[in-house]
Structure 1
Amino acid sequence: MQIKHHNDHHRTAYHFQAPSNWMNDPNGLVQWKGNYHLFYQYHPHGPLPGKIHWGHAMSSDLLHWTHLPIALSPTDGGPDEDGCWSGCMVNDHGTPTIIYSGNAHGRQLPCIATSADDDLLTWQKYTGNPVLPDWPAELDIVEFRDHCVWQESEMWYQVIGSGIKGVGGTALLYRSPDLLQWEYLQPLCVGNKAESGTMWECPDFFPLGDKHVLTVSSIPDGLVYYFIGTYQNFTFTPESQGVLDGSRHFYAPQSIRDDQGRRLMFGWLREGRDDTDLQLAGWAGAMSLPRILSLQPGATLGIEPAPEIAQLRRDHHAVEPRTITGHQTVIEQLFTNALEIMLDIDSQAATSCGLALQDSAYPEESIYISLQGSGLSIEAKNGSAKLEREQYPLTPGRHTLHIFLDGSVLEIFIDASACLTERFYHSAPRQLNLSLFANGGEATLHQLDVWEMASIWR
């Protein structure tokens, strides 16, 4: 249960969050013995980054989560004494096994831990950690951390996030017969520093349809890039690429193939506040909604919210299709900041059109979701007069926006093929009004459905 911060309206009702303090990357995502397990980077002693542990939560339905004891903690004098950093979990012939980056004295090297209980509550670290003593000596790399591990036949493979100086971000490929002894093969893929950054964190590599997908979190860009292509002879050749979320608030995603055969992904939603505000709040970070990835015709990426989220819908508000001119208030007196909105709108001749959320008790605060000539934009104006902006390129015309407003999170799925996320920090909702607008001409509303959402916390 989330008790400590239950009066904080900036916390979320249906996005996963730690009970308190700092959280970041999703780790060890797995479906085990019928339950989903979400591990995550966690600092149990404060709302700012510190000596990182692995937090842990479990869910039977991908909606409601039970907070469990910390799974991994740094070991004094060990190869992870300064932090148990990001990694993944695999099933090693019935033994749940975590591969994570142990941080010690500024170096991150792969470490192993195993569990023997069905709820994955207790973990035993391998006494021979780290299982790799160093990175490839022949490469002039910038960093070396974060792990994606899979099995082919009887061999294990992993990619480790890195970057080659002067070249670009890199995913380094290794193989092992037993998860303990690793042989370096070659770079799986090397990027261009001008296009995708100098360092690739949190690589995730997986088959999707008849292609493979590599996602990487880029330094210094702060964006998550995806590449779709072919994997052959230990080399991944990208054929197309894009941005997984148009915002720098979404970072370090991890995915699994669940029992339904879906490619299921969570990402870390970064805060948009400074350290002073985080200290006052006592917490930081949230997870994205679970996203389902698919391969679409033309080898493009499909991205949609997991359908389970619809189970949280409560009071429903619908607006009939219409022509939009000017500013039209269509729904009034929503006393919640946990909403799901489905908007199907055609900008037609309008220079801009979209949806506005404003609270009659705080007229200086607003959220505008606009379709303009340059694309989709989000403008969230806080009471302090600070204006947050995010933008995603789109061609003018008809688009479907699947919008999730939850506490201080705004997560938008665009035409089931892209996402844009914003963080904002408004006053407590009193009377939220929803309006449609069209400037410089008419727009056409095809669908507007709004649901008030239930909390996932029992």
Structure 2
Amino acid sequence: YALTGTRDTPCNGDTQHLFRSRDLAAWEYVDRFYESDRRWTSGKDDCSCPDFFELGSKRILLHYCHHHPHGSRYYLGRFEDQRFYPEAFDRINWPGGNLHAPRTMLDEKGRRILFANLNEGRSMNACVASGWMGVLSLPVIISLAPDRNTICYEPVPELQAFRQDLAQRQEVGIGTDMEIPLPEARGDCLELDLEMEPRGASEFGLKVRCAPDGSEETLVSFTLEPPTIQIDFQKASLRDDLTYHQDPRIQAAPFDLKQGDCVKLRIFLDRSVLEVFAGDQRYLVQRIFPTHPDGLDVKLYSRGGPTYVRRLRAWQMGGMIVTPDHDIRPKESG
């Protein structure tokens, strides 16, 4: 079987067409695989790079849309008589983000692992001049949420093999409109793991890749009105050749949160790549390109009221090597 991503007749939006073959040479058209009823998507949307598979008790159609607001998203639904019936929809990539054309695999442990191409953010001329372009996301485990209308995201536990030099704090209070530097967590290749609780704050979170003079910084934060998880990259870079300047420079996704809730936040920073896991509800990715050579500071912050940090753990993340038998192993520290 094969799916072709396309648009339907004018203004009828995204659809897929199902084909089948016995020899992969001669193909027979079966039917439309699904029809969009316009509840979630616009008449100009397409359904590119489809990946269709079973997830728990549901079927999921993972895909990418090129129409603004473009990005990666999915339908959840049922599959009957060679036809898919979408019952729920959500985005993975939100306007301004860099997650593109996700694909999945089922590993030997039965886990559904998602990988995605991350859009550059740099202009083509900048990529050519640098001699490279393109990077993949971390491997992410996806599963069906208890409500069966959304999916959960979790970085694969194998990433823990790259952790080095643990630094941690507990029971940290952040005052209203205050920042707390974390000198023990400086770096451009980090894993950060936090449990935070707003106690009157309207926005709270972390700043990463902060320049000493304040010229560059990227904010990862929760907001309460409306409740969101967001990456604010308005000051991420002083470069003038970044194509994401054309997009909103705050990537924000809805998040279930209210005052007093304890939220978990995991951040993976790998130089120009920032990957954020907000509990298991949201997974956001952003390319950032700081220019300041000493832009390595990390800071906690709270706005509009105080925030309590129950726990903070930070690791420097090591690189990896590929052995002659193609086994991937963490580099030894030092």
TM-score normalised by structure 2 residue count: 0.84
Structure 1 partner of 2:98: 249
Residue aligning to 1:198: 45
Is the 1:347–1:396 contact (alpha carbons within 8 Å) kept by the matching residues of 2?
no
Pair 1:183 & 2:28 matched = yes
Aligned-partner SS, 1:284: coil
Superposition map of 1:133-282 within 5 A: 157-166=1-10, 167-191=12-36, 195=41, 197-221=44-68, 222-247=70-95, 248-282=97-131
Number of equivalent positions: 302
Gaps of 5+ in 1: 1-156
Q: Is the Cα–Cα contact under 8 Å of residues 364 and 385 in structure 1 kept in the other structure? A: no
SS in 1 for 2:122: coil
Contact 1:355 1:435 in 2 (8 A): yes
Residue 354 of structure 1: which of 180, 205, 219 is its match?
205
Structure-2 residue corresponding to 1:319 = 169
Q: CA deviation at 1:233?
A: 0.6
Misfit runs of 4+, over 6 Å: none
Q: Which runs of 5+ in 2 are unaligned?
A: 323-334
Q: Please tell me whether the aligned partners of residues 209 and 290 of structure 2 are also in contact (alpha carbons under 8 angstroms).
A: no
User: Which of 302, 305, 309 lines up with 2:159 in the alignment?
Assistant: 309
Cα pair 1:353 1:443 within 8 Å, conserved: yes
Match of 1:337 among 188, 199, 202: 188
Which amino acid in 1 is paired with 2:180?
T
One of 232, 235, 252 as aligned partner of 1:379:
232
The Cα shift of 1:341 comes to 0.9
User: For the pair shown, which has the larger CA radius of gyration, 1 or 2?
Assistant: 1
For residue 379 of structure 1, what is the amino acid of its counterpart? D
Higher relative contact order (CA 8 A, sep 6+): 2
CA contact (8 A) 2:50 2:64 kept: yes
Q: Distance in 2 between matches of 1:347 and 1:336?
A: 26
The alpha-carbon distance between structure 1 residues 318 and 405, as it changes in their structure 2 partners (threshold 3 A), is: same
What is the deviation of 1:355?
0.9
Tell me how far apart the structure 1 counterparts of residues 181 and 102 of structure 2 sit (CA, whole Å): 36
Name whichever of 159-168 and 310-319 sits farther off. Answer: 159-168
339-348 or 324-333: which moved more? 324-333
- TM-score between both structures, scaled by the size of structure 1: 0.62
Q: Write the letter of the residue equivalent to 2:232.
A: E
Letter in structure 1 aligned against 2:25: L
Alpha-carbon distance between aligned partners in 2 of 1:327 and 1:385, rounded to the nearest angstrom:
28
Q: Is the 8 A contact 1:369 1:377 kept in 2?
A: yes
Q: Which of 431-440 and 216-225 deviates more? A: 431-440
2:75 corresponds to which letter in structure 1? F
Q: Is the contact made by 2:272 and 2:290 (CA closer than 8 Å) also made in structure 1? A: yes
Residues 229 and 254, structure 2, Cα contact 8 Å, conserved in 1: yes
* In structure 2, distance between residues paired with 1:241 and 1:330: 39
Higher strand proportion: 1
Percent of aligned positions that are identical: 29
